[in-house]
């Protein structure tokens, strides 16, 4: 297959309406009039079997009595044709899926195939790597038995080097061609990013003008710019996509748009025209099914006189073009948002194992039809386990809440580290009138030690004088987890911490006494706080919004002693945050205060608690490697809250 000539099909050949009419008349003269069942033109003897098709007509026998066929049109219009559309291969690609799509279209035999971009992973300026990725992809296309049209996605042309390589291999990033009086327009939504440039818009304007007599116009681009444009407008932001200009150019001409990028399928209706963003042909997807619009597919397009008719060919069946519409996905998302499944945490005393408890489940139905919930508890050690009741089932009418207490008992105590993966795996479905909506939920069940967070009635001074703390309840102990320069840590007298946490009317308070035989530059204590609600922390252990690191340096003795690091998607910490440090005979003392608004802005005034750990950084000699002594957490404590302490108000 010559990849350099992918754009050649009728791309520059002028159409002649007169020539098309003459050709159509000539075809009709050769074929003769179509003949249908019981037509007087089908002059054959009774009992003769149907004969072969001649031209565009089926010659049927004349039968006495009923006939074994339905008297409807034969779909043999000479202007009808079939193409396939393949969507995102990359963006977290799953190997092998794209080739399944290639094998599928080879079986289906469309006239040709059009893509909507994201063909390689890209996002690099390494030419050797890019060449290797394109070589791999073109190897897939070599297995395709019909012409394939390339469209550029963000994974294909995300930087100047990739744009240059595209033009070397494939020529223009936008182009058009014609087939059977249908005008195909392949655009670049990456011009430069989620945008149609003025240069491209000028080309589109001229191209559409030249082909204004096309019976239909099909537009292909990677990003669904119409949806992005509408979001910007709704948010009151300027729209730089260029979509509004394109929409004006299209005007009332018959057209349909196809895009990819979002990895889930939706059919849109805009001014009587259908727009589609397709799901995946191997790109990253949770593949939760048609209600979510998440499936691997190839779109099959049949061009008719009244426009394109589409069907979605998945690995396990054929889905209609309106498998997910704006209305249906809006209702489905409403169902997801208004079905609330909650599991109360199970708190265990800090020094105890777990032998029995009660899992309290709650289903709240804010939707407009009844909802049933079934499920099971996964991730529990099965040896010696008893659950009562064994069947987990709840039902709630609109506006109602249903609760279930599930007894949990082991024949002997279980360590909490064996219970960290406990999950409720549930299926919720609507009942009653209308289409059934079904969705799956995975809800983590928190079974963990609870550390009480006391409230102080009197404001505390942040001065590193710890005489107003009755007791520092927590410590790293004799055998903590040590990371980094582990060989330099010689035991608790070398570096360890005793600390406590509390709160007053306005602030979250921390105090610590650090044992350190030599306080030098590089020594520090860090307090890591994940302030998200418990459900969010349990569902996603990766530190994200509202997670902070507060680092106190005991060697500066001024305001620069405190460094605050927000984690990904986290706003700056609320002001004022205060810290102080003071050297002691065996190390140093620290105090920290943080406004309670850090918790209140995501949990509300009735905040419940947070997860936290404390890390001591110890350097024996200035410039030497650092040992990090952890109170709680894992080796990956800097990225996730696993095994952090649960502090509960």
Task: Please provide the average confidence, as pLDDT, over all residues in the chain.
Answer: 87
CATH 3.60.21.10 describes domain 81-323: yes
Question: Is 70 exceeded by the pLDDT of residue 416?
Answer: no
On whether the CB atoms of residues 241 and 286 are closer than 8 A, the answer is no
102 vs 70, more confident: 102
Return the SS3 of 170.
helix
3-state secondary structure 391-423: CEEEEECCCCEEEEEEEEEEEEEECHHHCCCCE
Q: What's the CA gap between 260 and 535, in Å, rounded?
A: 33
CA distances (Å), 511 to each of 475, 518, 581, in order? 12, 20, 10
Neighbours of 385 (CB within 10 A): 13
Structure tokens at 8: 């050649």
Q: What's the CA gap between 278 and 43, in Å, rounded?
A: 49
Among left, alpha and beta (phi > 0; psi -120 to 50; other), residue 107 is alpha
Q: What's the CA gap between 315 and 521, in Å, rounded?
A: 61
Among left, alpha and beta (phi > 0; psi -120 to 50; other), residue 111 is alpha
Neighbours of 83 (CB within 10 A): 23
Q: Choose the weakest-confidence range: 53-67, 144-158, 296-310, 439-453.
A: 53-67
Neighbours of 506 (CB within 10 A): 10
Question: Is 80 exceeded by the pLDDT of residue 14?
Answer: no
Tens-place pLDDT, residues 255-309: 999 999 999 999 999 999 999 999 999 999 999 999 999 999 999 999 999 999 9
Confidence of residue 315 (pLDDT cuts 50, 70, 90): confident
Question: Is 90 exceeded by the pLDDT of residue 35?
Answer: no
Tens-place pLDDT, residues 577-613: 999 999 999 999 999 999 999 999 999 999 999 999 9
Among left, alpha and beta (phi > 0; psi -120 to 50; other), residue 229 is alpha
HSE-up of residue 130 (Cα within 13 Å, Cβ side): 20
What pLDDT sits at residue 424?
A: 85
Tokens 């209702």, residue located: 331
Tell me whether residue 9 is exposed, middle or buried, using C-beta atoms within 10 angstroms of its C-beta: 0 to 12, 13 to 18, 19 or more: middle
Confidence of residue 51 (pLDDT cuts 50, 70, 90): very low
Q: What's the CA gap between 249 and 193, in Å, rounded?
A: 21
179 vs 354, more confident: 179
What pLDDT sits at residue 239?
A: 94
Question: Is 70 exceeded by the pLDDT of residue 16?
Answer: no
What pLDDT sits at residue 44?
A: 35
Map out the domains of the chain as residue ranges. Answer: 28-75, 81-323, 336-449, 451-648
CA distances (Å), 560 to each of 55, 295, 367, 553, 577, in order? 88, 53, 52, 8, 12
What phi and psi values does residue 290 have, to the nearest 5 degrees? -70, -30
End-to-end CA distance of the chain: 68
Sign of the four-CA dihedral 297, 300, 267, 208:
positive
On whether the CB atoms of residues 98 and 89 are closer than 8 A, the answer is yes
What pLDDT sits at residue 4?
A: 40
On whether the CB atoms of residues 226 and 257 are closer than 8 A, the answer is yes
Q: What's the CA gap between 38 and 453, in Å, rounded?
A: 89
What pLDDT sits at residue 383?
A: 67
Q: Choose the weakest-confidence range: 180-194, 449-463, 512-526.
A: 449-463
CA distances (Å), 587 to each of 86, 318, 511, 606, 618, in order? 65, 71, 14, 38, 11
Where do runs of H (alpha helix) occur along 109-145?
A: 127-142
What phi and psi values does residue 378 have, to the nearest 5 degrees? -110, 160
Specify the DSSP element, H or E, that contains 620.
Answer: none
Tens-place pLDDT, residues 209-246: 999 999 999 999 999 999 999 999 999 999 999 999 99
What phi and psi values does residue 580 have, to the nearest 5 degrees? -150, 155
Neighbours of 434 (CB within 10 A): 10
Selection from 72, 23, 89 nearest residue 222 by Cα? 89
What pLDDT sits at residue 377?
A: 82
Confidence of residue 352 (pLDDT cuts 50, 70, 90): low
Confidence of residue 548 (pLDDT cuts 50, 70, 90): very high
319 vs 224, more confident: 224
Structure tokens at 161: 């080097």
According to DSSP, residue 530 is labeled: E
> Which residues, 6 or more positions from 603, have their beta carbon under 8 angstroms from its beta carbon?
531, 532, 533
On whether the CB atoms of residues 140 and 106 are closer than 8 A, the answer is no
Judge whether 81-323 and 336-449 match in fold: no
On whether the CB atoms of residues 283 and 88 are closer than 8 A, the answer is yes
CATH architecture of 451-648: Sandwich (2.60)
Pairing of strands 645-648, 451-452: parallel
Fold observed for domain 336-449: Immunoglobulin-like (2.60.40)
What pLDDT sits at residue 67?
A: 85
Tens-place pLDDT, residues 112-140: 999 999 999 999 999 999 999 999 999 99
Question: Is 60 exceeded by the pLDDT of residue 345?
Answer: yes
Over residues 552-580, mean pLDDT: 87
On whether the CB atoms of residues 648 and 609 are closer than 8 A, the answer is yes
What pLDDT sits at residue 231?
A: 93
On whether the CB atoms of residues 170 and 204 are closer than 8 A, the answer is no
Pairing of strands 547-552, 182-186: unpaired
């Amino acid at each position: 297959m010559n990849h350099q000539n992918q754009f050649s099909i009728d791309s520059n050949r002028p159409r002649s309406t007169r020539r098309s009419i003459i050709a159509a008349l000539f075809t009709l003269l050769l074929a003769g009039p179509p003949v249908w069942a019981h037509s007087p033109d089908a002059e054959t003897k009774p009992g003769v079997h149907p004969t072969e098709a001649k031209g565009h007509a089926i010659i049927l026998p004349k039968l006495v009595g009923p006939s074994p066929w339905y008297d409807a049109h034969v779909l043999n219009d000479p202007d009808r044709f079939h193409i396939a559309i393949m969507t995102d291969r990359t963006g977290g690609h799953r190997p092998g899926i794209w080739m399944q799509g290639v094998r599928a279209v080879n079986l289906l035999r469309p006239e040709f195939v059009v893509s909507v971009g994201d063909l390689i992973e890209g996002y690099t300026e390494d030419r050797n790597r890019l060449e290797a990725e394109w070589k791999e992809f073109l190897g897939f296309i070599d297995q395709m038995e019909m012409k394939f049209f390339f469209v550029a996605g963000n994974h294909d042309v995300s930087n100047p080097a990739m744009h240059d390589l595209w033009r070397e291999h494939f020529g223009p990033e936008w182009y058009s061609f014609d087939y059977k009086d249908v005008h195909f327009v392949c655009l670049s939504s990456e011009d430069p990013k989620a945008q149609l440039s003025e240069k491209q818009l000028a080309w589109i304007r001229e191209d559409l003008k030249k082909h204004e007599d096309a019976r239909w116009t099909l537009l292909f681009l990677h990003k669904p710019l119409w949806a992005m444009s509408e979001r910007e407008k709704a948010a009151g932001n300027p729209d730089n996509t260029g979509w509004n200009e394109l929409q004006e150019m299209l005007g009332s001409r018959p057209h349909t748009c196809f895009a990819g990028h979002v990895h889930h399928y939706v059919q849109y209706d805009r001014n009587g025209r259908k727009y589609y963003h397709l799901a995946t042909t191997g790109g990253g997807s949770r593949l939760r099914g048609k209600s979510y619009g998440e499936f691997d597919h190839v779109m099959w397009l049949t061009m008719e006189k009244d426009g394109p008719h589409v069907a979605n060919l998945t690995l396990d069946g054929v889905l209609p073009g309106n498998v997910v519409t704006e209305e249906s996905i809006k209702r489905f998302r409403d169902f997801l948002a208004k079905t609330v499944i909650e599991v109360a945490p199970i708190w265990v005393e800090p020094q105890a194992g777990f032998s029995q408890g009660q899992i309290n489940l709650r289903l709240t139905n804010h939707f407009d039809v009844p909802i049933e919930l079934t499920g099971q508890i996964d991730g529990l050690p099965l040896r010696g386990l008893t659950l009562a009741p064994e069947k987990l089932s709840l039902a709630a009418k609109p506006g109602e809440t249903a609760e279930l207490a599930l007894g949990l008992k082991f024949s002997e105590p279980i360590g909490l580290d064996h219970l960290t993966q406990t999950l409720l795996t549930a299926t919720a479905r609507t009942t009653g009138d209308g289409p059934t909506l079904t969705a799956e939920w995975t809800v983590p069940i928190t079974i963990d030690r609870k550390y009480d967070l006391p409230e102080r009635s009197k404001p505390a001074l942040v001065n590193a004088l710890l005489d107003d703390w009755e007791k520092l309840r927590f410590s790293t102990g004799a055998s903590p987890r040590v990371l980094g320069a582990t060989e330099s840590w010689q035991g608790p007298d070398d570096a360890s911490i005793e600390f406590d946490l509390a709160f007053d009317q306005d602030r979250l308070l921390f105090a610590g006494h650090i044992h350190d035989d030599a306080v030098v530059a590089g020594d520090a204590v860090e307090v890591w706080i994940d302030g998200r609600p418990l459900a969010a922390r349990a569902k996603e252990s990766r530190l994200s919004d509202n997670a902070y690191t507060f680092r106190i340096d005991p060697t500066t003795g001024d305001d620069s002693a405190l460094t605050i690091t927000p984690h990904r998607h986290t706003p700056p910490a609320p002001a004022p945050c205060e810290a102080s440090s003071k050297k002691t005979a065996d190390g140093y003392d620290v105090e920290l205060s943080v406004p309670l608004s850090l918790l209140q802005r995501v949990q509300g005034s009735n905040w419940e608690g947070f997860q936290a750990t404390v890390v001591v950084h110890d350097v024996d000699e200035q410039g030497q490697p650092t040992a990090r002594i952890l109170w709680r957490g894992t080796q990956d404590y800097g990225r996730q809250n696993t095994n952090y302490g649960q502090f509960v108000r």
